[in-house]
């Protein structure tokens, strides 16, 4: 079993949406949950998380890749590009060309690499508009995984993740339930023992048209408008943040789950 886990990426890897003030940067997330489970069954296990919210793929690679290689990991998770795909002008093929070069460097250094596809946003009116772009990105990532011998967590096929009850109020990030589902998928792909279980959700409540309008207006005020303002100012939500776990350290420094 791997003993040196380094996770690279943006808000997804950092754990945004799974808010917990007891954790670095105030968030927990699937990577922390995965590391906690691996540490429970792997003596000497060490974990670093370099993910920072708001980062584009180029920033993730420029700011995190060399650092990760210096840590000499034997297991690396990498997800980046989601923020790029949401932008109207994006060259997905060029984007994933750079992505593949990074994966190749990691595998050549001897690390097992785990990649992720993007989630299928078909049931969300906003994300349905970029569904085609996400699908192209996913196919390119699947090709990279095959060519580079990387493992891949296919979140596109995880139909439970379409359920908005697994998402934070900002509709951009998974909540604790969604992050737990991703952690389970990662651990199962690794063949690692764990004690995590998906939440029992029960039947969905279907809001009325009036309730949906009210929810959309609230979301716009609280989340969409601030995001647009940051974009217009050239700011990112992660501009003042550092990686939550920049060095490999034992996971027993975490609070108890």
Distance of alpha carbon 99 from alpha carbon 47, whole angstroms: 22
Q: Which pTM value belongs to this model?
A: 0.89
In angstroms, the Cα distances linking 155 to 1, 138, 141, 142, 200 are 23, 10, 12, 12, 19
Q: What CA–CA distance (Å, rounded) separates 85 from 136?
A: 10
Residues of the chain with pLDDT under 50: 256-257
- Structure tokens given for 181: 């589902």
Alpha carbons within 13 angstroms on the beta-carbon side of residue 217 total 6
Residue-range definition of the domain harbouring residue 136: 4-198+242-253
Domain assignment of residue 213, yes or no: no
**Distance (Å) of CA 88 to CA 1, 94, 125, 143, 159:** 41, 15, 16, 24, 26
220: in domain = no
Read off φ and ψ for residue 247, nearest 5 degrees: -125, 160
pLDDT at 124: 81
* CATH number, domain containing residue 140: 3.40.50.1110
**Predicted local distance difference test score (pLDDT) of residue 236:** 63
Exposed, middle or buried: residue 45 (CB in 10 Å: 0-12, 13-18, 19+)?
A: buried
The confidence score (pLDDT) of residue 257 equals: 44
Asked if the structure places residue 52 within a domain, the reply is yes
In a domain, 111, yes or no: yes
Within a domain: 105? yes
Per-residue confidence (pLDDT) for residue 208, from 0 to 100:
74
Measured CA to CA, the distance from residue 71 to residue 74 in angstroms comes to 9
Any domain includes 22: yes
Number of domains within the chain: 1
Q: Are the C-beta atoms of residues 60 and 80 closer than 8 Å to each other?
A: yes
In a domain, 221, yes or no: no
Residues 183-210 have pLDDT tens digits of 999 999 999 999 999 999 988 878 777 7
């Amino acid at each position: 079993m791997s003993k040196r886990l380094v996770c690279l990426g943006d808000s997804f890897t950092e754990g945004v949406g799974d808010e917990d003030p007891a954790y670095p940067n105030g968030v927990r997330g699937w990577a922390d949950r995965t590391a906690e489970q691996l540490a429970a069954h792997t003596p000497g296990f060490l974990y670093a998380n370099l993910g920072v919210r708001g980062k584009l793929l180029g920033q993730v690679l420029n700011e995190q890749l060399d650092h990760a290689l210096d840590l000499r990991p034997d297991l690396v998770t990498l997800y980046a590009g989601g923020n790029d795909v949401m932008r109207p002008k994006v060259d997905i093929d060029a984007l994933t060309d750079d992505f593949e070069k990074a994966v190749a460097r990691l595998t050549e250094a001897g690390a097992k690499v785990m990649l992720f596809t993007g989630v299928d946003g078909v049931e969300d009116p906003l994300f349905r508009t970029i569904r085609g772009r996400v699908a192209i990105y996913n196919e390119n990532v699947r090709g990279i995984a095959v060519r580079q011998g990387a493992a891949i967590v296919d979140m596109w096929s995880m139909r439970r993740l379409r359920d908005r009850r697994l998402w934070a109020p900002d509709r951009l990030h998974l909540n604790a339930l969604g992050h737990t589902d991703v952690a389970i998928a990662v651990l199962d792909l690794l063949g690692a023992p764990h004690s995590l279980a998906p939440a029992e959700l029960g039947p969905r409540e279907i809001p009325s048209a009036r309730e949906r309008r009210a929810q959309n207006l609230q979301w716009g005020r609280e989340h969409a408008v601030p995001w647009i303002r940051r974009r217009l100012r050239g700011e990112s939500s992660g501009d003042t943040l550092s990686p939550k776990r920049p060095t490999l350290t034992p996971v027993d420094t975490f609070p108890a789950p």
